[in-house]
A and B are shown apart, each in its own frame.
Chain A
Amino acid sequence: ETGVTQSPTHLIKTRGQQVTLRCSSQSGHNTVSWYQQALGQGPQFIFQYYREEENGRGNFPPRFSGLQFPNYSSELNVNALELDDSALYLCASSPDTGAHNEQFFGPGTRLTVL
């Protein structure tokens, strides 16, 4: 069984640019959540996708957007990058919605905005 994978591992961008991060969910999981983790902080929920539809969103501006594909893999897109967007971006998949479901996290993508 393949776990959650994310690409790329590291990424360096400059202010104003756009970035796309990718996540492959664990086999059999239809729900993907994205989190932003700044240095020294806990992960902050960005949004969740369930069967290709956005199913919930945290306190992030619209320039953070996402997609989920029929195979349940997902993308996180961030437009007009700001310095504060520098963080570890985590993707987590779960077999269904509902907070009681164990979420399986990927290793994350480290984004640096210069």
Chain B
Amino acid sequence: LAKTTQPISMDSYEGQEVNITCSHNNIATNDYITWYQQFPSQGPRFIIQGYKTKVTNEVASLFIPADRKSSTLSLPRVSLSDTAVYYCLVGENSGYSTLTFGKGTMLLVSP
């Protein structure tokens, strides 16, 4: 499974755009890139997933360059409720799925 590296923590203010970059240098051809969000004492929640280029949904955008060795989660106009841990995962579309979580990025949004 591809290993991911992301910042341990980030700080932001309400209304700002936040970009969290994840490095995954040994990503395999069949790997998807997935981001999850986790609030304290809750299970992780799916945010967005992509394979290449750009993906956008109602809460975030995911930018993936052509070499796919990194990806950037973009959260537009964050609010206090976006304070959470964000995990970047790279998974194989193989016989079984397993999500390998690192320590994630703790995003703190201040007023």
Q: A residues 6-59 with Cβ under 8 Å of B?
A: 31, 33, 35, 40-45, 48, 50, 55-56, 58
- B: contact size bracket: 20 to 34
Interface string of A92-114 (1 = CB under 8 A from B): 10100111111111111010000
CA distance A110 to B43 in the complex (A): 11
A-B pairs, top 4 by smallest CB distance, nearest first, are A99-B91, A105-B43, A42-B101, A56-B96
The reply to whether B103 and A31 contact each other, CB–CB distance below 8 Å, is no
A-contacting 9-mer, from B15-23, B44-52, B63-71 = B44-52
CA distance A31 to B46 in the complex (A): 16
- A: contact size bracket: 20 to 34
CA distance A106 to B45 in the complex (A): 9
A81 interfacial by beta-carbon distance below 8 Å: no
B41 interfacial by beta-carbon distance below 8 Å: yes
CA distance A88 to B42 in the complex (A): 9
Partner-B contacts on A (CB < 8 A): 4, 31, 33, 35, 40-45, 48, 50, 55-56, 58, 88, 90-92, 94, 97-108, 110
Contact pick for B41, options A43, A91, A94, A110, CB 8 Å: A110
Q: Which residue of B lies closest to A46 (CB)?
A: B98
CB-defined A-B contacts under 8 Å, sample of 12: A33-B99, A41-B103, A45-B99, A55-B95, A55-B96, A56-B97, A92-B99, A99-B89, A100-B49, A103-B99, A105-B44, A110-B41
Which residues from chain B contact A101 at a C-beta distance below 8 Å?
97
Which residues from chain B contact A43 at a C-beta distance below 8 Å?
44, 99, 101
The reply to whether B98 and A56 contact each other, CB–CB distance below 8 Å, is yes
The reply to whether A99 and B32 contact each other, CB–CB distance below 8 Å, is yes
CA distance A46 to B92 in the complex (A): 17
CA distance A90 to B100 in the complex (A): 14
